[in-house]
A and B are shown apart, each in its own frame.
Chain A
Amino acid sequence: MADVETIAHDVLVIGAGGAGLRAAIAAAGRGVSVGMVCKSLLGKAHTVMAEGGIAAALGNVDDRDSWKVHFADTMRGGQYLNNWRMAELHAKEAPDRVRELEAWGALFDRTRDGRILQRNFGGHKYPRLAHVGDRTGLEMIRTLQDHGIHAGIDVHMECTVITLLKDGDRVAGALVYDRERGRFHVFRAKAVVLATGGIGRAYRITSNSWEYTGDGHALAYRAGAVLQDMEFVQFHPTGMVWPPSVRGILVTEGVRGEGGVLKNRDGRRFMFDDVPENYRNQTATDPDEGWRYTQGDKSARRPPELLTRDHVARCIVREVREGRGSPHGGVYLDIAWIRERLPNAADHIRKKLPSMYHQFKQLADIDITREPMEVGPTTHYIMGGIRVDGDSQMSTVPGLFAAGECAAGLHGANRLGGNSLSDLLVFGKRAGDHAADFASQHGAVTVDPCAVDAAARWALEPFARTDGEGPFAIQHALQETMQDLVGIVRREEEMQRALVALGALQARAARVAVDGNREYNPGWHTALDLHNLLTVAEAITRSAIDRRESRGGHFRDDHPAKDPAAGGYNTVVRRGPDGAMQLAREAIPPVPAELRAVLTEMG
């Protein structure tokens, strides 16, 4: 197309959250030219919403912590479907990545002796999360942003990718539109890093913003990359449930880390009623021990509220389904009770959880220092994503890298809280480094003008249709389908219905029509995003149907037990030659002896 401008870089980073920024900084640090496109303004990506902290075995609060414990915790939390190499690298490198943030200006909360303070979180054996009150994500993204703007990165804000471009087998760049003018731009690049985050908008109740439509997942899939573990979606146990307009907004796990407890309508701490076997010897047996744990007593074990997110979410669903929920269909999360134990409890809560205090006060008229919150599960994160090499983060497409939420492997069947921020840093850096090296070691690429033309024409089709349906109704129908049929508790029959429904939605999306012009047109953007959402929704549903067991974030009502045989493979999907989605099971390579020894040693 004659009117499409071409911008050339060695490395193109798609996404500007924690992983994208860290990748861009790393790549620029290797002396290659780096472009970064982001769907929103710089500094607004979902990393900003992360509250609890960054998991890293610094051992500042409990010197028994080490990379080995962190590795074992991550593997246990992921039910051993993790890419063990990524879990190893993550545990080993996270402390350096956190210290590096401090060298770039981040100001974490401090221990008494002036080091970085760490807090307790679900599934982590020792206090491990470096944090800043409950706004750690803001501190992290702002630090990366403020460092990154001086790193020589060419930033293009409010730009969205329509398709990846290829030169033979290699990735060659991307076709992008800018929101402001609606113009197309070709970014030609020798290596591309996808750091596009998650898929939360595939569900009705989610903590994710409009941006999280599975773009990276779908772009990579259509470019020929393999996706894995797509059945594993994390439903965070504590989202807001009331009033309706805030349903799904996250309530940090930090509330429980600071001593908050979950209660049902009858005031019972129901989490004590169901402690999984593999966590029994790490879990407190009574409320007093749990409280002592949250206050740093090293002899105490953690309260059951700090079990992994998949388990806590399911326990909440059970309470609600069995009629013991709160008035608006959740359960109670109570931090106010700590006034029985602490003087100045209200001040303490406001200091430790300022944005939670603010959020409930302003949006729900609830003073969390005096009253319990009502909470329920919300779609939060996808463990699955683009299959990558553990060391380099390169996908199965040469030159195409992925880091952060859109990549798979580190978290296995369930992610531990705090492991995502460290994931962004560790693998953002690795992806950036390796993408830069790839670009330096490989020659120039050529972009196929016909592919650009075809994609641009496709993107404009909704404007030409006069009789089609608007995009918002289709998006809502998709969200209802996934929420109702492929949610926290899954059944074969319902998921088969979902597949049929998705097929019908694909047909509707192919006829979507939009009004107005190309300038900053949310209707048009939603129409384009639909394409990605439908791809990831299908991948989630097909993968979830195939895994006939319950493990981590994937719970099958019709197969409630864990199947040991299913612990040996990852579900993968790829696009077949006929364009249909193909599913396969890939055996997980055996854990090497030295890591097996670590797992045994850590129990």
Chain B
Amino acid sequence: MGETQSSATFRVWRGDATGGGFCDYRTAVAPGMVVLDAIHQIQAEQANDLAVRWNCKAGKCGSCSAEVAGKPRLMCMTRLSELALEAPVTVEPMRAFPLVKDLVTDVSWNFRAKRTITPFTPRRPDAPDGTWRMQQADVDRVQEFRKCIECFLCQDVCHVLREHHLEEQFIGPRHFVYTAALEMHPLDVADRVPALKRSNGIGFCNITKCCTKVCPESITITDNAIIPLKERVVDEFYDPVGRLVKLFSRRQRP
């Protein structure tokens, strides 16, 4: 167990867009420590300018995403006791995004991509006082998606973005989860299915479930968000009977 050791070596990626390499730092290890603690200790004691993005340190804000020992993780939720500390622990930035410096990447594309998705569009209020009625069972399904902390680890691990860099044609798992939350929202009446097929590129996803595996919030991204959205695209565009029916009946609009 790592927790009995008194120190460990962290092989931290240092550098910026022009280049860089790994640097080894040996630092003290105490019971209960997480990777982010080790990075902070290194920053305070050995490398004041080591760049790392973090906020809540409790797995709620999704800022400290990185690749620890080769796996996309939140540094604040990765305990040293889960890692083999006999050898150096590599800590490197997310690889799918452009590097800013050290462990910090430029994730701004994610914010731009989100803005292209049709925002929440509610039906008319149910009650005269302007409020709505929803059952808990109906909100439960969507609440799973709304747990997302926007750590972008799912984006980092998705081969469409990581290897193929199709950012212009594909919004990535995070935004499929966001779209699913809107499409399955009990009050929402907008139709995002045509966009999913065209500009959002849902067809590029070939359901390898890498995103689901790395989600720190355990959102069942592929099964509960992406596959149902793919089914909607199929129903809308590839079902001959459905197309015929649609020809004669207009989809209800708000």
Contacts and interface: CB of A to CB of B under 8 A. Distances in A.
Contacts of A209: 54-57, 61
A107 B142 contact: yes
Contact of B147 (A135, A147, A523, A524): A135
B210 interface: no
Given A110-B139, A146-B120, A211-B55, A514 B49 contact: yes
Given A146-B119, A211-B55, A515-B49, A520 B32 contact: no
A364 B187 CA distance: 39
Nearest to B118: A150
Q: How large is the interface on B (under 10, 10 to 19, 20 to 34, 35 or more residues)?
A: 35 or more
B166 to A, nearest CB: 22
Interface in B104-146: 104, 106-108, 111, 114-115, 119-120, 122, 125, 130-136, 139, 142-143, 146
B243 interface: no
Contacts of A109: 136, 139
Given A103-B122, A243-B31, A519-B16, A471 B48 contact: yes
A190 to B, nearest CB: 27
B91 to A, nearest CB: 15
B185 A149 contact: no
Contact of B58 (A146, A359, A519, A524): A359
A138 interface: yes
Contacts of A189: none
B250 to A, nearest CB: 25
A216 B148 CA distance: 29
A522 B49 contact: yes
A41 interface: yes
A164 interface: no
A249 B30 contact: no
Contacts, number: 172
B146 A142 contact: yes
Contacts of B51: 519-522
Given A139-B146, A243-B31, A520-B102, A150 B185 contact: no
Interface in A109-146: 109-110, 113-115, 117, 132-133, 135, 138-139, 142, 146
Contact of B59 (A132, A149, A362): A362
Q: Which of A41, A250, A526 has the most CB of B within 10 A?
A: A41
B52 interface: yes
Given A48-B56, A521-B49, A244 B130 contact: no
A49 B32 contact: no
A41 B32 contact: no
Contacts of B57: 209, 246, 249
A363 interface: yes
B49 A523 contact: yes
Nearest to B50: A522
A254 B136 CA distance: 19
B101 interface: yes
Contacts of B132: 102, 114
Given A243-B32, A246-B32, A471-B48, A520 B104 contact: yes
B63 interface: yes
A359 B104 CA distance: 25
B90 interface: no
B42 to A, nearest CB: 11
Contact of A110 (B44, B136, B150): B136
A472 interface: yes
Contacts of A363: 32, 34, 58, 77, 79
B79 A519 contact: no
A103 B136 CA distance: 17
A40 interface: yes
A105 B185 CA distance: 8
Interface in A260-312: none
A110 B143 contact: no
B12 to A, nearest CB: 13
A355 interface: yes
B83 interface: no
B111 A149 contact: yes
Contact of A210 (B49, B55, B102, B134): B55
A103 B187 CA distance: 9
A115 B136 CA distance: 9
A133 B147 CA distance: 10
B133 A41 contact: no
Contacts of B102: 520
B138 to A, nearest CB: 8
Contacts of A250: 58
Nearest to B33: A245
Interface string B57-97: 11111110000000000000101000000000000000000
Given A243-B31, A362-B77, A521-B51, A49 B59 contact: no
Contact of B139 (A43, A107, A138, A146): A107
B77 A114 contact: no
Contacts of A362: 59, 77, 79
B143 to A, nearest CB: 6
B100 interface: yes
B37 interface: yes
A44 B62 contact: yes
Contacts of A210: 54-55
Contacts of B182: 105
A237 B77 CA distance: 23
Interface of B: 16, 30-34, 37, 43-45, 48-63, 77, 79, 100-102, 104, 106-108, 111, 114-115, 119-120, 122, 125, 130-136, 139, 142-143, 146-150, 178, 182, 185-188
28 contacts: A44-B55, A48-B149, A102-B131, A103-B122, A103-B125, A104-B120, A105-B185, A107-B146, A109-B139, A114-B133, A114-B135, A142-B146, A142-B150, A146-B178, A157-B111, A180-B101, A209-B54, A244-B32, A245-B37, A355-B60, A362-B79, A363-B32, A472-B45, A516-B48, A520-B51, A521-B51, A523-B43, A523-B48
Given A107-B146, A114-B133, A150-B115, 7 more contacts: A102-B132, A107-B139, A109-B136, A157-B108, A209-B57, A210-B55, A514-B49
The 4 closest A-B pairs by CB, nearest first: A243-B32, A516-B49, A523-B48, A114-B133
